[in-house]
Amino acid sequence: MALAFFGLSIFLFLNLDLDGASFSPASAASDSGPEITYGSVVKLMHERTKYRLHSHDVPYGSGSGQQSVTGFPNVDDANSYWIVRPQPGTNAKQGDSIKTGTIIRLQHMKTRKWLHSHLHASPISGNLEVSCFGGENESDTGDYWRLMIEGSGKTWKQDQRIRLHHVDTNSYLHSHDKRYQRIAGGQQEVCGVREKRADNVWLAAEGIYLPVTESK
């Protein structure tokens, strides 16, 4: 009941159409899960460590000083929700399915900033920093991530193994078990690396999935 109420609150906040939408918890990896469509609200789970991609209104103390992005160990934190948005200037609309190779943006639900990367060094490992930046009417190419589905799948679905390739820096969204000790104690670093590694695989886990509305 609490999850259903929370899901309803999200949609009221976003002013989205509730018709046909469903809340979906994480499940075993499968190719038959619901599709992730534009406008859906999802948590991205790091495959190896099971931490969720997370942000909150706390700036990095080094690098860009922008809003920090981390991996969060607990499942039930509202700061781990991201809204899937299209690249500006395309014909994509809410409810469209998303194919591998498509450039997407991820908007942090609570702060409305965009998942972003650039050439600043990440705080722990010295890889590329991943931050949250901008706002509803402020977005640039540093917010562009190319969806790359692992395996034979062509359309993004829950629990599919994916990589997110950052267009500007030619790097992959990455995490590992290197953890912060002070401000974000217990949370692990999220960064960008330019090589394909086992630690840059993610899955769409919990979320509220809007139904596919595009014509077939």
User: Which residues are CB-contacts of 29 (< 8 A; sequence separation ≥ 6)?
Assistant: 159, 160, 161, 203
User: Which residues are CB-contacts of 156 (< 8 A; sequence separation ≥ 6)?
Assistant: 35, 36, 97, 98, 99, 100, 147, 149, 162, 204
Mean pLDDT across 52-75: 94
In the predicted structure, residue 214 carries a pLDDT above the cut 70: no
pLDDT, residue 13, reads 45
Per-residue pLDDT of 38-59, as tens digits, reads: 999 999 999 999 999 999 999 9
Per-residue pLDDT band for 92 (boundaries 50, 70, 90) equals very high
pLDDT, residue 186, reads 85
Per-residue pLDDT band for 213 (boundaries 50, 70, 90) equals confident
Per-residue pLDDT band for 22 (boundaries 50, 70, 90) equals low
| Mean pLDDT (the chain, rounded) | 88
pLDDT, residue 31, reads 54
Higher pLDDT, 104 or 21: 104
- Which class is domain 37-208? mainly beta
Per-residue pLDDT of 122-178, as tens digits, reads: 999 999 999 999 999 999 999 999 999 999 899 999 989 999 999 999 999 999 999
pLDDT, residue 183, reads 65
**Domain coordinates of the chain in residue numbers?**
37-208
pLDDT, residue 23, reads 61
**pTM, entire model:** 0.87
